[in-house]
Structure 1
Amino acid sequence: MRVGLELGAFEWPGGTAAIGDTVARFAQLADEAGFSSLSTGDHLWQGFNAGGERAPYLECFTTLAVMAAHSRHCRISPVVAGVHFRHPSLLAKTVTTLDVLSGGRASVGLGVGWNAEEAVGSGIAFPPVAERFEMLEETLAILHGYWHGEEGDGQAYEGRHYRLERVLGVPQSITRPHPPIMLGGAGDKTLRLVARYGDACNLYPTPDMPDRLERLREICAEVGRDYDEIEKTCCLPFDVTGGGDGDDTRQLLDTLGQLSGQGIETVIGIVATADPLRQVELIGSKVLPELAGE
């Protein structure tokens, strides 16, 4: 099993002035410890589960660029980018730039978004969910167009939500045929998009998760996609205190083992604690070695 980390909160001792150094050190420590990926979410306001809108939050891709600059091996990805925040052309250029500057380590997680209050409060359109799914499907088609061949096909694209006179991207990504695409969500609409366009799915460890993976298998069979080609990922909070008896890390290992038994290949741990560096050190020293020895 692979384990990645998502930095989910930015409120630490030292205040705003300490954020830059902490993000950089977080990435460096995670990379050295052997975590598979580094991520952050894509929001303008902090979520209710990590302090609410008055808590600090950083722009996603700028933060990922800092993480990329302070790591050498981890893949770098938003988990997940809201389709309503960026035009597909800008998203394609942003992810390609991240891939080029990181030496071919970028991935892109995408979803339909959920925080209407955040979007509307910031003056950003937040259409009904059915329209956002249409936007997501068109965005996926456009991304594939940008990353096709050597420079993109240069052809026009016309959909209901997006119209492009030329789909042209120079330079192309280092990762070929394109940076991996992960889609967040467990509904049938999302799983069908995974089967058609995705390289990975991202779920939460809810009781119906095994059923959702089985549903993805069925959809893959319907459309002729190899289910085993798709990376099965799962997000959950990581918080170990590292007590002398090791109970917290053992509990995490048990949880990871259960998820592996259910078909999950990669777990992305959301770190939203007051001391994220300590979390990286503990999990990196106590959990990753045991997983490697399986």
Structure 2
Amino acid sequence: MTIRLGYQIPNFSYGGSASEMFQAVLAQAQEAEAAGFDSVFVMDHFYQVSAVGAPDEPMLEAYTALGALAAATERVQLSPLVTGNTYRNPALLAKIVATLDVISGGRAVFAVGAGWFEQEHEGYGYEFGSFADRFERLAEALEIAIPMLRGERPTFHGKWYQAKDAINEPRLRDDVPVLIGGSGERKTFGLAAKHADHLNLVCGASELPHKLDVLHQRLLEADRDPETLEVSYFAQVIIDEDGERARQLLLDWFSRRGVDLQALSKAERLALTDRVFAGNPVEVSREVKTRVLDHGVDRLVINLVANGHEPGAVELAGKTLRPLLPE
């Protein structure tokens, strides 16, 4: 399956008990499937990220949650967006992804990034290292995990990781999609050009023309046809039938993070909302088309960070965005 419209669940701060919280997660996944989303993602974090909330807000372990979602859905692909490479040995990660693929009947996506959240590394005792260290680790990890997902038994001796005739059984298939997320023009794009089936761009919408030009150059340098790499854009959407309510939800969301959007200059507001799309369905549709799709990106992954847990919000987003994308 290809990824055309994905839905990411970015937080679990819904109030109530832990069991009630997961029921809200489950409801969103099922609503996304019914609304025409082809993929459902969760975050691979142990603490909530500062762009969404406070570090002590609820955060489920990604692959455990995805295993439960696999049993409660039938069609959507499932993955973290994206797996933090530093949190798991790459051979173990390949085993985890293959197991999710078996459980879900062939719906797992191997989505991975270098890792960036220093606070949770320190809190859980994982070595953080330098930016260069983390990308060296990711490059080595891909040399182990991808062959294992393809049915090979790699032996690898690197600076960071080792594997010897690593077996990965059972597997359901040899073509689990590989997704790399980010917008780093040298390292991320270079790894995507070499290894990925899909690149999820995480950047401001205003940066898209430049990022796509650089990505095209990296693909040419890797002697790869640009048509062979799917590219999606990651957007934060706040949608409601009432556009004014959507804009108030946007203000409230920033306010909870200590930011008064209305007190900022126009340039400051634009910088903070460059990948946010808030309004009613007509407004969101128009903004997504002009700010993203018209630049040549024809795939989307969204979250509904302010109101995705409200019944009907995911359905409304799917109804609004799906018609904008090619079949």
Provide the TM-score with structure 2 as the length reference: 0.82
| 1:265 to partner: Cα distance | 2.5
- Distance change >3 Å, CA 242–CA 293, structure 1 → 2: farther
Contact residue 232 and residue 263 of structure 1 kept, 8 A: no
CA distance in 1, matches of 2:321, 2:232: 18
| C-alpha distance in structure 1 between counterparts of 2:325 and 2:201, whole Å | 23
- Between stretches 271-280 and 120-129, larger displacement belongs to 271-280
Q: 3-state SS of the aligned residue for 2:105?
A: coil
Name the residue aligned to 1:268.
301
Alignment of 1:72-83 (within 5 A): 72-83=74-85
Change (3 A) 1:230 1:70: same
Q: State the distance in 2 between where 1:79 and 1:284 align.
A: 19
- Check if 1:213 corresponds to 2:245: no
| Aligned-partner Cα distance in 1 for 2:308–2:106 | 30
d(CA) in 1 for partners of 2:82 and 2:210?
A: 22
Computed over aligned residues only, the root mean square deviation of the Cα atoms, in angstroms, reads 2.1
Q: 2:31 matched to which residue of 1?
A: 29
Q: Residue 284 of structure 2: which of 246, 252, 263 is its match?
A: 252
1:238 and 2:237 are equivalent in the alignment = yes
**Secondary structure of the corresponding residue to residue 281 of structure 2:** helix
What are the residue-to-residue correspondences of 1:140-179 with 2, within 5 Å?
A: 140-148=142-150, 151-152=151-152, 154-174=153-173, 176=174, 178-179=175-176
Number of the residue aligned with 2:182: 185
* Counterpart check, 1:202 vs 2:200: yes
- Once the two structures are TM-superposed, the CA of residue 255 in structure 1 deviates from its matched residue by 2.8
Q: Contact 2:285–2:320 (CA<8 Å) still a contact in 1? A: no
Q: What are the Cα deviations for residues 135-168 of structure 1, in whole angstroms up to 9, with x where unaligned?
A: 10111111222123xx42x342111111112222
> What residue in structure 2 maps to residue 279 of structure 1?
313
Alpha-carbon offset, residue 274 of structure 1: 4.7
The letter of the residue matching 1:117 is Q
What is the distance in 2 between the residues matched to 1:274 and 1:283?
11
| Identity, % of aligned positions | 30
> What letter corresponds to residue 295 of structure 2 in structure 1?
Q
Give the whole-Å Cα distance in 2 for the aligned partners of 1:180 and 1:32. 22
Partner amino acid, structure 2, of 1:249: P
Q: 1:153-202, CA deviations, whole angstroms, 9 ceiling, x for partnerless residues?
A: x342111111112222112243x3x2111111222111011110011111
Runs of 5+ unmatched residues, structure 2? 247-278
Conserved? CA contact 1:182–1:202, under 8 Å: yes
Residues of 1 paired with 2:162 and 2:284: CA distance?
46
Is the Cα contact below 8 Å between 1:37 and 1:74 reproduced in 2? yes
Q: Distance in 1 between matches of 2:67 and 2:193?
A: 29
Once residues 293 and 136 of structure 1 are traced to their aligned partners in structure 2, the CA distance between those partners, rounded to angstroms, is 32
Q: Which amino acid aligns with 2:128?
A: F
8 Å CA contact 1:9–1:273 kept in 2: the answer is: no
3-state SS of the aligned residue for 2:96?
helix
